[in-house]
Amino acid sequence: MQTRREFLALSTAAAAMPLSACSEHDMDDYTEAAARLRVNLTHIPDMKALVRFATLAANGHNTQPWRFTIRKNAISILPDLSRRTPVVDPDDHHLYVSLGCAAENALIAGKTHGLPGAARFDSTKEGRIDIDLTPAPAQPDALYEAIPKRQSTRSEYSGRSVATDDLKRLEAAAKIKGVSIILITDEAGREAVLDYVIAGNSFQMDDPQFVQELRDWIRFNPSEALRTRDGLFTACSGNPTMPAWIGKPMFNLFFSKDAENEKYTKQLKSSAGVAVFIGEREDKHHWVQVGRSFQRFALQATALGMRHSHINQPIEVPSVRSQFSNELGLGKARPDLVVRFGYAPPLPMSMRRSVDDVIFS
Ligand SMILES: Cc1cc2nc3c(=O)[nH]c(=O)nc-3n(C[C@H](O)[C@H](O)[C@H](O)COP(=O)(O)O)c2cc1C
């Protein structure tokens, strides 16, 4: 446990460091690398190009829990179980949702560049998604243009509401077999969701294993984020960057239940609405479908100039999840994801591992 005196010593040491030690150059390198990952495709030279677009998908804690195999006009996406997050996601729900997000990006990019296809979930062993593509005329798609621009924006939003037509576009984009969504935009409804976010967050913040797992995936500075190319880089959440030896004790000191609950209250109150995604069944195949639906929603939001960010606390704690499900009148159905949306300036983009590090064939 850090004493107040030790913390002050750390802070003084940090303040005494020249700015370059916290490395503006590293931030420039980071920004350049993040941009390189997102260079647009003019055509699809090979399946590796599609895999790069697939990996730009949202994924829990940015662990990038996927492996890819490629053949001519075919991609398979498999789980990488070494990148599980067993505390926050003990049944690998988020992991399979993340695979679905990646699959949807690949499908959209393929279709745009004249290689449309279909995804099939094979439930044998750990499960895999097989995507077969067939040459056809290219079909431009606004969702494709949004792939390199989409980001999880974990800041306060402007409070501006979303026009009814745009809400309808979000709903239409998210339509995927086996998944339904509920959009909550009225103040009372958002306040009700906030109660469950606070209940879930309070439970998680009281669990030292949850906090430890989260801290393990935080990257405190650009060089750490560039070295691992995964995890949650502080700048992407609007937080300061610092050397890891300062960041880790600072995290222990400042990451508190009250501060987090206050942050989520402000974030939710400033959002235009909340989307809840519900799979028809509680199995890996439907979790993949939920990921595909969410990814399409997020891309449509991006294409319309909106931001989004997960507030999954109500669905991550089983006891809170069943109450949340009752609140929404879902009966026995499991609410799979909770996402807020609205308007805000962008934050830095997140990092990804290179294509060669995720392809296994
Ligand atoms: C299944 C799933 C669960 C997620 N849960 C959370 C969450 O609870 N809180 C959060 O801030 N972000 C959450 N995210 C967003 C990821 O952290 C984010 O996608 C990842 O860090 C990559 O960043 P990007 O979306 O900006 O590309 C989740 C994403 C997925 C797909």
- Note the pLDDT tens digit of each residue in 168-204: 999 999 999 999 999 999 999 999 999 999 999 999 9
- Note the pLDDT tens digit of each residue in 305-332: 999 999 999 999 999 999 999 999 998 8
CA atoms of 123 and 2, how far apart (whole Å): 47
**Residue whose CA lies nearest to ligand 1 atom number 6:** 310
User: 66: domain CATH number?
Assistant: 3.40.109.10
Instruction: Tell me whether residue 32 is in a domain.
Output: no
Count how many Cα atoms sit within 13 Å of the Cα of residue 52 in the half-sphere of its side chain. 18
Beta strands in 155-210 (DSSP E): 179-184
pLDDT above 70 (res 20): no
pLDDT above 50 (res 16): no
Instruction: Tell me whether residue 290 is in a domain.
Output: yes
Instruction: Tell me whether residue 333 is in a domain.
Output: yes
CA atoms of 139 and 113, how far apart (whole Å): 7
pLDDT above 70 (res 14): no
CA of 209 to the centre of ligand 1 (A): 19
Query: How much is the mean pLDDT over the chain?
Result: 93
Average pLDDT score over residue span 202-217: 97
CA atoms of 54 and 358, how far apart (whole Å): 11
- Residue-number span of the structural domain to which 328 is assigned: 37-192+268-358
pLDDT above 70 (res 9): no
Q: What is the pLDDT of residue 2?
A: 39
Instruction: Tell me whether residue 143 is in a domain.
Output: yes
Give the chain's domain count: 1
Whether residue 221 contacts residue 241, with contact meaning beta carbons closer than 8 Å, is answered with: yes
Beta strand 218-219 pairing with 232-233: parallel
Q: What is the pLDDT of residue 10?
A: 42
Q: CB under 8 Å, gap of 24 or more: what pairs does 21-27 form?
A: 21/243, 22/221, 22/241, 22/242, 22/243, 23/221, 23/222, 23/223, 26/221, 26/222, 26/223, 26/226, 27/222, 27/235, 27/241
pLDDT above 70 (res 18): no
Torsion sign across C-alpha atoms 285, 286, 287, 290:
positive
Q: What is the pLDDT of residue 13?
A: 41
φ, ψ dihedrals at 339, nearest 5° = -135, 130
Instruction: Tell me whether residue 76 is in a domain.
Output: yes
Instruction: Tell me whether residue 261 is in a domain.
Output: no
Instruction: Tell me whether residue 169 is in a domain.
Output: yes
CA atoms of 207 and 43, how far apart (whole Å): 48
Q: Does pTM top 0.85 for this prediction?
A: yes
pLDDT-derived band at 22 (thresholds 50, 70, 90) equals low
Which residues does ligand 1 sit against, CB inside 6 Å?
A: 58-62, 94, 97-98, 101, 151-152, 154, 232, 309-310, 312, 350
Instruction: Tell me whether residue 92 is in a domain.
Output: yes
What share of the chain has pLDDT > 90, as a percent? Answer: 89
Torsion sign across C-alpha atoms 97, 99, 105, 109:
negative
**Residue whose CA lies nearest to ligand 1 atom number 2:** 60
- Note the pLDDT tens digit of each residue in 290-310: 999 999 999 999 999 999 999
pLDDT-derived band at 252 (thresholds 50, 70, 90) equals confident
